Copies of this chain bind each other. A is one copy, B any other.
Amino acid sequence: MALPNQTNLAMGPWKITVYNQENFQGRCWEFTSCCNNIIEYNLENIHSLKVECGVWVGYENSSFNGQQFVLEKGDYPCFEAYMGSHSYSVKRMMSFRPIYSACHKDSRLCVWECENMKGRQWELSGDYPSLQAMGWHSNEIGSMHVKSGAWVCYQYPGYRGYQYIMECNHHGGEYRHYRDFGTHAHTPQIQSIRRIQD
């Protein structure tokens, strides 16, 4: 689990409200920190949610495993439609947690062509809906180092396909192989990258 640093804590608290029916109906549960498994809260499935403070990451499976997806401030009235608009076969969100290290104004990321920080290198500090349009030579990234902030990398251009959340305070910011990108990563294919706003 990420540990918040003092700077970011000052921006808290984090708050997400989840509902067991669509359109913010039914019973609701409020969370201000991580949820390891919704079952522990007698919540079988989340059908709508509101991110009220901070930015969060949701996971397909309990204990922060499986597909990942950024949850930014706003309303998600029909979670199934959102997920359908999202990924391959994710039907629910079983765990979620705040992203403590997001810092839009100071986000720096180094990417390398090959694993273990080898081959061509590029330092990013903005948002890149198409890495190839910005001059990156391939549709893959072999390894990366988050120097500050938090980032989300996507399999396809235009912020689509599998998501990988990269944080400066996880693994010391180092992602040396695509298997470090996430438990759902099975190729180094990454074609768009953006900063996560706090």
A131 interfacial by beta-carbon distance below 8 Å:
yes
Q: Is the CB of B132 within 8 A of A73?
A: yes
A119 interfacial by beta-carbon distance below 8 Å:
no
A37 interfacial by beta-carbon distance below 8 Å:
no
- CB-defined A-B contacts under 8 Å, sample of 5: A71-B157, A73-B133, A74-B131, A81-B161, A85-B87
Q: Is the CB of B129 within 8 A of A161?
A: no
Main secondary structure, interface of A, reads loop
Interface size on A, residues (CB 8 A): 38
Q: Which of A142-166 contact B (CB under 8 A)?
A: 155-162
Look across to chain B and name the residue whose beta carbon is closest to the beta carbon of A155.
Answer: B85
The copy count of this chain in the complex is 2
Q: Is the CB of A84 within 8 A of B88?
A: yes
Q: Is the CB of B159 within 8 A of A159?
A: yes
With the chains together, A164 CA to B197 CA distance in Å? Answer: 22
Q: Which of A70-128 contact B (CB under 8 A)?
A: 70-76, 81-82, 84-88, 127
Q: In the assembled complex, which residues on chain B have CB atoms less than 8 Å from the CB atom of A71?
A: 157-158
**A133 → chain B, closest Cβ, in Å?**
4
A47 interfacial by beta-carbon distance below 8 Å:
no
Q: Is the CB of A157 within 8 A of B72?
A: yes
Q: Is the CB of B130 within 8 A of A85?
A: no
Look across to chain B and name the residue whose beta carbon is closest to the beta carbon of A74.
Answer: B157
Q: Is the CB of B72 within 8 A of A130?
A: yes
**A71 → chain B, closest Cβ, in Å?**
7
A169 interfacial by beta-carbon distance below 8 Å:
no
With the chains together, A193 CA to B91 CA distance in Å? Answer: 26
Q: Is the CB of A85 within 8 A of B51?
A: no
Q: Is the CB of B85 within 8 A of A160?
A: yes
